Every structure is written in C-alpha cells, then in structure tokens.
Amino acid sequence: MGGTNLPIPKNQVSDRAPSNVDVYSSYHPISTTYSGISGRTLAAEPKSKPKTRRRPQQPSSAAETKPTLQSGVADTADKQPTFPVDARALQVFRTLFFNPTVTSTPGEIPWNDFLHALSSVGFETTKLYGSVWQFQPTRLDVERNILFHEPHPRDKLAFMVSRRYGRRLNRAYGWLGAMFVLGER
C-alpha cells in the first residue's frame, strides 16, 4: 500500500525541525530578498540631487554693493505706496494690521466700516453667495481679487478674525499698517 496521511504525534514534530538554525540571522526583508541588494549596500550609497537653481550673480565692483545715499536716507527701489484714507477707514486699518506704537486697544470692526475701508483704497465690493464677499481691485496696480466672509449672526468682525484678514491682505498685496495715513479733508 502507498503512503498514508496520518497525523504525526507531537513528540516527533520536534525531530523534524533542526534545532541548530539561528532564525534571526536567516531573516531578510522581502524587498532585499527579491531585489538582490543587501541593506548594507543601500545605506552606503549617498543620495545626490542635481542643482537646478542658479547661483546668485556676484557684483562686479565694490561700488555696486553700497547703496547710494541721498540726504542721509538709503535709496530703496521698492517703496510701498501710502493710501490717504479718512478717519473711519484709518481706524479699521489700525485694527487689521498690528502696530506696536499705537497704545489704544482695538476692538471689533463693524462690517459696514470694513466695506467702507476697502472701498476707499480702491476695491469694488460684490456680494457673491451666502456670506461671501468679493473684493476686486479697480484703482490698484494689482489684478488679484480676494474673498472675505461676512460675520454672522452679528455684523461685527471679532478682533482675532480682523487680524487674520489683515494677514491675508499682507500676503496677497504686501500691505502693512504704516501704509495707511489720514488724508486731508
């Protein structure tokens, strides 16, 4: 008769597995087993990335490195414009942008004052949907519009929300609090 498949008694199972094999030294992760590359050779290869950025050009003479002085003030090529605004809009911009020299504690901003302030510096305001308002620049040298949400249920911007709106205006247009000055009547 041929071989029969009988269960092996427990005392004979240990005889089949060799006891002198070190299981931990024979273990290899699947990725290194099938790729043929050991983990030691992977760690030894340094990673390199080709440089794609241009190196900054060095000035050709020492005269180009020093800024030209006119009446004691350094000449800067990128001067920020100033916006003359009325007192109502100036109060809004002082709340939107942090200024350490102003000692008054700003509070909430009424939404109508916020609309007035942005309209006075050259934005066209349009209510889109829900509480979203679009501010499209008309008299400014920028083309990017910006969206803000009208606060609800109250019609006042909380102090923290107004500072967040100020940071968004700074990122979008580069505006600072010092750019807004009280205009003449």
DSSP string covering the chain, please?
Answer: -----PPPPHHHHHHHS-TT--HHHH---HHHHHH---HHHHHHSPP-----SPPPPPPSSGGGTSPPEETTEE--S-PPP-EEE-HHHHHHHHHHS--TT--SPP--EEHHHHHHHHHHTTEEEEE-STTEEEEEESSSS----EEEEPP-SSSEE-HHHHHHHHHHHHHHH---GGGEEEPP-
pLDDT of residue 19: 64
Phi, psi of 59 (to 5 degrees): -65, 145
pLDDT of residue 71: 47
pLDDT of residue 116: 94
pLDDT of residue 72: 47
pLDDT of residue 127: 92
pLDDT of residue 9: 60
Each residue's pLDDT expressed in tens, for the chain with a length of 185 residues: 556 666 666 555 555 555 676 666 666 666 655 555 555 555 556 677 777 777 767 666 555 555 444 444 444 445 777 888 898 898 898 888 887 777 676 788 999 999 999 999 888 999 998 889 999 988 777 778 899 999 988 889 988 899 999 999 999 888 888 888 888 76
CB 138, CB 123: distance < 8 Å = yes
pLDDT of residue 84: 86
Other C-beta atoms within 10 Å of 7: how many? 5
pLDDT of residue 7: 65
